Amino acid sequence: MSDDLADWIERTFGVRPADTAPFVRALTHSSREGDSYERQEFLGDRVLGLVMAEWLYETFPDEPEGQLTKRFNALVTGVVCAEVARSIDAEARVRLGKQAHSDGAQHSDNVLGDVMEALLGALYRTAGLDAARDAIRRLWADRIHADARAPQHPKSALQEWAAANRRAVPAYAIVDRSGPGHAPRFTVAASVGKDSVTAQGASKQEAETAAARALLTALEEQAAASAKPRRRK
């Protein structure tokens, strides 16, 4: 497994580590015996944040801090990290306990997002910041240029819409939480006054974001329909 893992690391990150142990740890979920990825996830999260902030600062020299922050927040979410993890086939290499594997934790955005950050932590520890920077810039390259304008977070967009239309401040409430601890599903209700929708996500934040997006769409459609002139009979 060590040679196979080293080959995968080299293909994925462009470096061949002398010691694969940090990468084994980065792929190990807490449901399995031994050290899990949690400490390296903590480190990798900071490495990703630093590299992404530096990259955005260089790439969009004319954008103010607020716009850079919007781009940053959109690029480092757990969902995006999970997408990147899938793109490098980390999903097939996650080491899980028997029950977690049966529950499909290897497909969870929460788990894969954490694993991706832990892998970046392992890369930083074994090969340094330059190697981590090169890997992040390659793996996130398509995403950083995906939006010509800085994306706005759905919760911020909903709040601005509510303020502009003199509506109540958006509110969020957890309606349900289901699933095992390593792969939870949250159902959240987002409301503006009497208008409300629910949405699900792998985390409270993800569910709130989905609910805000759905409610904003519904409110905009409702407003557009009300603005249409009525035909005279």
Residue 200, Cβ neighbours under 10 Å: how many? 15
Is residue 117 among the annotated active site residues? Answer: yes
Helix/strand number for the chain, H first, E second: 11, 3
Point out the annotated binding site: 41, 114, 117
Report the C-alpha gap between 102 and 106 in whole angstroms: 9
Annotated catalytic residue within 103, 117, 206, 208: 117
Annotated catalytic residue within 45, 103, 206, 208: 45
Report the C-alpha gap between 180 and 101 in whole angstroms: 11
Residue 172, Cβ neighbours under 10 Å: how many? 18
Point out the annotated binding site for Mg(2+): 41, 114, 117
Q: Rounded to the nearest 10 degrees, what angle do helices 38-59 and 129-139 cross at?
A: 70
Smallest CA-to-CA distance from 181 within 90, 121, 97 is with 97
Residue 97, Cβ neighbours under 10 Å: how many? 16
Is residue 10 among the annotated active site residues? Answer: no
- Residues taking part in catalysis: 45, 117
